[in-house]
Structure 1
Amino acid sequence: MQFDFSAIWDAIPILLEGAKLTLWISVLGLIGGITIGLLIGLARSYSNWLSNHIALVFIEVIRGTPIVVQVMFIYFALPMILRIFTYIRIDPLTAAIVTIMINSGAYIAEITRGAVLSIHKGFHQAGLALGLSKCDTLRYVIMPLALRRMLPPLGNQWIVSIKDTSLFMVIGVAELTRQGEEIIAGNFRAMEIWSTVAVMYLMITLTLSYILRCLERRLKII
């Protein structure tokens, strides 16, 4: 079987559209995940017993279940549960973005907790000694330091999320992997198309890794 480069050239425009959607889902998911992760992570670090354990249950449930099960639950099961109160339908793209938000949020929560607790308690005491409240000390002293330490694992989480989007083909989201599958269904050139899909994922992740390394050097993160 000969490698047919013409099949690749014909598929590139469609695969690029899929790659754009893959990045769009990952970016929106990471933004939401950071928001969720910061709230849950801070609840694990500084809140009362009840909030701490609610946050812990959220983290363990999300990290303990596969992301493909989570997206299937959100897309198929959640509308049936909510239909008891009101009719609602969740489209595939929304389900994919919400799943990435929730899934990455659980991991970012632990990243946040680790970064916050790694800051020496002397900084907290110094903020209080300067007359800052506990909230202001956390906001202006602890979090700026913690965010610098969070950058490398956040970058890694973004790359993981990009690869996780490939699983959303199960609900029909037209991301990169789904587009590749549909092209193969039409031309039966699996070797060429899957090779191209793999190279495109690799180009995306290597580019992001390079950008993140430059940012880490710029911020002098050790």
Structure 2
Amino acid sequence: MSLDYIIKIAGPMLEGARTTILLFLIVIVLSIPLGFVVTLMAKSTMKPLAWIAHSYIYVMRGTPLLLQLLFFCFGLPQIPVIGEYLVMDRFTAASLGFILNYGAYFAEIFRGGLLSIDKGQFEASKVLGLSKWQTLRKVILAQMFRVALPAVANESISLVKDTALLYAVAVPELLNYAKTAVNRDFTVTPFVVAGVIYLLMTLVLTLFFKTLEKRFKFE
């Protein structure tokens, strides 16, 4: 494992890491709000909305993420009549699969956060004259976020590792570049370098969420 070789392969692998980071940011920015909306739908008194939310969560959590990625990348265009309108480039299709999958998991995390809040909080808010929106924004969301933050942190770190599944749908990300280098040079060094890059990304995330947890006095 020479330093010159590591420097040689670092450029392409960092290019792959950029795709990994881009996917991570897209998924986090879109799946967390989606998860919260789905949580509200699941708690809705409107039965059709609640049924749709529960069905969505059940399907997305009950089937493998890899299967979902394969469906969005290769299955959508095969749907009769509308398939031709659902053709997307593979990165976009994979991003959609990740967003919907992680949205379901975040929905369950937020549901757990809501369930942890004492019902007396709602009654106290009514006594204080707060509207439903004020109660949600000033009382419920703040407490839910504190409870859900550790689980959100764990799920975010899992997302970094799950981005390696892009390899299965032929999107050139970090693991794809590492596998190409291994096949070309007959050495496992690129896998080691890829592992180090993944560890660095998860380290940054871990430190970020630790800082948030300290700010909200989890420790």
Q: CA deviation at 1:149?
A: 1.8
Q: Does 1:211 align with 2:180?
A: no
Q: Does 1:38 align with 2:36?
A: yes
| 2:148 aligned residue (147, 150, 154) | 150
> Does the 8 Å contact 1:8/1:196 carry over to 2?
yes
> Does the 8 Å contact 1:37/1:108 carry over to 2?
yes
Q: What's the counterpart of residue 60 of structure 2?
A: 62
Q: What's the counterpart of residue 29 of structure 1?
A: 27
- Structure 1 pair 12/155, CA: closer, same or farther in 2 (3 Å)? same
CA distance, structure 2, for counterparts of residue 80 and residue 15 of structure 1: 33
Structure 2 stretches lacking a partner, 5+ long: none
> Does the 8 Å contact 2:164/2:174 carry over to 1?
yes
Q: Does 1:197 align with 2:176?
A: no
Q: CA deviation at 1:83?
A: 4.7
Q: CA deviation at 1:85?
A: 6.8
> Does the 8 Å contact 1:79/1:89 carry over to 2?
yes
Q: What's the counterpart of residue 220 of structure 1?
A: 217
CA distance, structure 2, for counterparts of residue 83 and residue 181 of structure 1: 38
| 1:97 aligned residue (81, 95, 99) | 95
1:65-116: per-residue Cα shift (whole Å, max 9, x none)? 1111101100111122275375342111101211111111010000111101
> Does the 8 Å contact 2:122/2:135 carry over to 1?
yes
> Does the 8 Å contact 1:30/1:100 carry over to 2?
no
> Does the 8 Å contact 1:149/1:221 carry over to 2?
no
Q: What's the counterpart of residue 53 of structure 1?
A: 51
Structure 1 stretches lacking a partner, 5+ long: none
1:113-169: per-residue Cα shift (whole Å, max 9, x none)? 110121111221122122233333223321122112222111111111111110111
TM-score by length of 1: 0.91
The aligned amino acid for 2:50 is N
| 1:124 aligned residue (100, 122, 125) | 122
> What is the aligned residue count?
219
CA distance, structure 1, for counterparts of residue 196 and residue 84 of structure 2: 44
Higher normalized contact order (CA 8 Å, seq sep 6+, divided by chain length): 1
Q: What's the counterpart of residue 173 of structure 2?
A: 175
> Does the 8 Å contact 2:77/2:84 carry over to 1?
no
3-state DSSP of counterpart to 1:173:
coil
Q: Percent identity?
A: 35
CA distance, structure 2, for counterparts of residue 85 and residue 211 of structure 1: 41
> Does the 8 Å contact 1:4/1:192 carry over to 2?
no
TM-score by length of 2: 0.92
CA distance, structure 1, for counterparts of residue 80 and residue 2 of structure 2: 49
The aligned amino acid for 2:147 is R
| 2:163 aligned residue (162, 165, 172) | 165
CA distance, structure 2, for counterparts of residue 50 and residue 90 of structure 1: 30
